[in-house]
């Protein structure tokens, strides 16, 4: 599904209505160096916001999540970015206070997708049994997997990033169930129905973020060059560069018995890490003693017969869950 999008609409407008304030810089002698208008936050469905800014007389910069703006959530959504952006722009036109007034030629350009994109985030969700399994998968992939030309993963909170600071593209893996519990990402009260919460709780979300340089390299910086299959093809191509063939995670039966503080250690040992080189001698023997209570000896090599573990790649071999039927029935999809 399409998630976050940034770009420029070719659109006449009143610049004074797309300002939420100004930022100024002064030198040591209090001479003004520059001034910048702050972006205007615009509320959409269920108070989900998008930001707009006047870029020039006939260009409006936009950045944000059009799916969330229209639906009030981004648990699931469309891959048809051209249709999505048409709906998004038409929704903006309904807000007369924004002062957007495209002429017929500009409106046709927008409807046909003849304008520039500077960022597109694409994601899909895979369902595991529960949020514990989702977190175990993320922890294992972040500690042991590699992304070609981007290197090992790095964590920010519970999210595993690959190529986080790349100017071109990267991947991130996170638990959607955990995300919607965080302030600023919570579902609106009217959308906190059991089906939505269960869908999120089991969702392993993998997201590819494409920056301006990569979009231009692929000639995808112009929206009209996208079709309905492009997002899925891009995400799968990015995922194919993630080296997962020999990476494993705990299955649920082990997760249920092993304390959370020991799961990271077990995953590292399971995937062949030399724990003696990671821990101090004192810490290693303390952790080893704790693990022995669960029948695990981390001083030995991890077993070749991994009967109690799941290859990470197996999760991604299944199809993403997509949009459930009940979401259409309840008008939860834009």
Assign 14 to helix, strand or coil.
coil
Asked if residue 2 lies in contact with residue 86, where contact means CB atoms within 8 angstroms, the answer is no
pLDDT at 70: 96
Query: Do 10 and 81 have their domain in common?
Result: yes
Query: Do 231 and 257 have their domain in common?
Result: no
Assign 176 to helix, strand or coil.
helix
Residue 334 in domain: no
Residue 175 in domain: yes
Give the list of residues 6+ apart from residue 83 with CB closer than 8 angstroms, or none: none
Residue 297 in domain: yes
Query: Do 322 and 280 have their domain in common?
Result: no
Residue 180 in domain: yes
Query: Do 105 and 234 have their domain in common?
Result: yes
Assign 158 to helix, strand or coil.
coil
pLDDT at 151: 81
DSSP category for residue 100:
B
Taking only the tens place, the pLDDT of each residue in 12-41 is 999 999 999 999 999 999 999 999 889 999
| CA nearest neighbour of 43 among 21, 19, 65 | 65
Token pair of 239 as six digits: 């995922």
- Could you give phi then psi for residue 4, rounded to 5 degrees? -90, 140
Neighbours of 309 (CB within 10 A): 21
Taking only the tens place, the pLDDT of each residue in 165-174 is 999 999 999 9
What is the rounded average pLDDT of the residues 249-262?
69
DSSP category for residue 280:
-
Residue 260: pLDDT band with limits 50, 70, 90: confident
| CA nearest neighbour of 234 among 102, 123, 70, 73 | 123
Token pair of 5 as six digits: 């999008």
CA angle (254, 260, 264) in 5-degree steps: 85
55 sits in which H/E element: strand 49-56
Q: 15 is in which domain, residue-wise?
A: 2-244+315-329
- Conformation bin of residue 64: beta by default, left when phi > 0, alpha when psi is -120 to 50: left
Query: Do 104 and 167 have their domain in common?
Result: yes
Comparison of pLDDT for 312 and 23, the residue scoring more: 23
Residue 294: pLDDT band with limits 50, 70, 90: confident
Residue 157: pLDDT band with limits 50, 70, 90: confident
Query: Do 296 and 202 have their domain in common?
Result: no
């Amino acid at each position: 599904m399409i998630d976050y999008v940034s770009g420029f609409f070719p659109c006449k407008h009143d610049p004074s209505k797309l300002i939420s304030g100004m930022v100024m810089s002064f030198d040591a002698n209090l001479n003004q160096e520059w001034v910048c208008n702050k972006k205007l936050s615009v509320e959409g469905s269920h108070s989900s916001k998008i930001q707009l800014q006047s870029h020039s007389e006939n260009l409006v910069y936009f950045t944000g999540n059009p799916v969330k703006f229209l639906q009030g959530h981004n648990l699931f959504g469309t891959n048809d970015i051209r249709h999505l952006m048409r709906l998004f722009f038409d929704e903006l036109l309904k807000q007369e206070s924004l002062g957007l007034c495209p002429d017929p030629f500009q409106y046709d350009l927008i409807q046909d997708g003849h304008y520039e994109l500077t960022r597109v985030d694409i994601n899909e969700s895979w369902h595991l049994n529960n949020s514990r399994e989702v977190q175990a998968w993320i922890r294992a992939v972040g500690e042991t997997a590699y992304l070609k030309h981007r290197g090992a993963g790095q964590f920010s909170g519970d999210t595993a990033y690959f190529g986080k600071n790349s100017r071109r593209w990267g991947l991130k893996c996170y638990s959607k169930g955990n995300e919607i519990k965080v302030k600023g990402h919570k579902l609106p009260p009217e959308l906190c129905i059991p089906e939505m919460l269960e869908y999120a709780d089991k969702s392993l979300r993998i997201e590819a973020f494409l920056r301006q340089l990569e979009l231009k390299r692929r000639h995808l910086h112009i929206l009209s060059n996208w079709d309905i299959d492009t997002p899925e093809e891009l995400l799968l191509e990015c995922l194919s560069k993630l080296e997962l063939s020999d990476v494993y995670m705990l299955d649920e039966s082990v997760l249920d018995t092993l304390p959370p503080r020991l799961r990271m250690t077990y995953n590292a040992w399971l995937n062949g890490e030399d724990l003696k080189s990671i821990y101090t001698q004192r810490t290693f023997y303390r952790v080893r003693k704790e693990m022995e209570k669960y029948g695990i000896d981390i001083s030995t090599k991890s077993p070749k017969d991994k009967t109690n573990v799941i290859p990470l790649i197996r999760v991604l071999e299944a199809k993403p869950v997509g949009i459930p039927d009940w979401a259409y029935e309840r008008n939860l999809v834009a």
